[in-house]
């Protein structure tokens, strides 16, 4: 009786590493809300200063807020979005504006 040829893939132990799935951090939208008191000029200034928008982008976002009631200024990781809301709110209150910004998951 002849011996069966040995299959090199059989009988050897192979270590298999499981790959961990990397969770993509959830991102949050920073939303400007319209009010009857905050000036359009101030909203544009905030968009340029805190959100690094150029004049055209800032004007477009401000007009969207004015016409539709709200608009997204940017999408960021949660801590960045919350920090931007806190900084802008502090600046707005310091200048007497009731500007409202919120965050929500993307």
pTM of the predicted model as reported, rounded to 2 decimal places:
0.77
| Gap between the Cα atoms of 49 and 23, Å rounded | 32
Tell me the domains of the chain and their CATH numbers. 27-105 (3.30.1390.10)
Q: Six-digit token pair at 6?
A: 């040995």
Residues 6 or more apart from 31 whose CB is under 8 A from it? Answer: 70, 71, 72, 73, 101, 102, 103, 104
Question: Is the distance from CB of 48 to CB of 66 less than 8 angstroms?
Answer: no
For residue 106, give the 3-state DSSP assignment. Answer: coil
| Gap between the Cα atoms of 7 and 53, Å rounded | 64
Q: How far is CA 14 from CA 21, 25, 61, in A?
A: 22, 33, 57
pLDDT computed for residue 21 by the predictor: 76
If one counts every other C-beta atom within 10 angstroms of the C-beta of residue 73, the result is 27
Q: Six-digit token pair at 38?
A: 């905050």
pLDDT computed for residue 98 by the predictor: 97
pLDDT computed for residue 30 by the predictor: 98
Q: Which residues of the chain have pLDDT under 70?
A: 1-15
């Amino acid at each position: 009786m002849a011996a069966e040829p040995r299959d090199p893939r059989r009988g050897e132990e192979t270590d298999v590493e499981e790959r961990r799935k990397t969770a993509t951090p959830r991102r949050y939208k920073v939303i400007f809300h319209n009010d009857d008191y905050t000036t359009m000029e101030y909203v544009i200034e905030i968009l340029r200063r805190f959100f690094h928008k150029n004049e055209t982008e800032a004007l477009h976002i401000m007009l969207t807020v004015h016409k539709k009631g709200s608009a997204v200024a940017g999408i960021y990781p949660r801590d960045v979005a919350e920090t931007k809301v806190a900084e802008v709110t502090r600046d707005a209150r310091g200048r007497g504006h009731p500007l409202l910004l919120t965050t929500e998951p993307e």
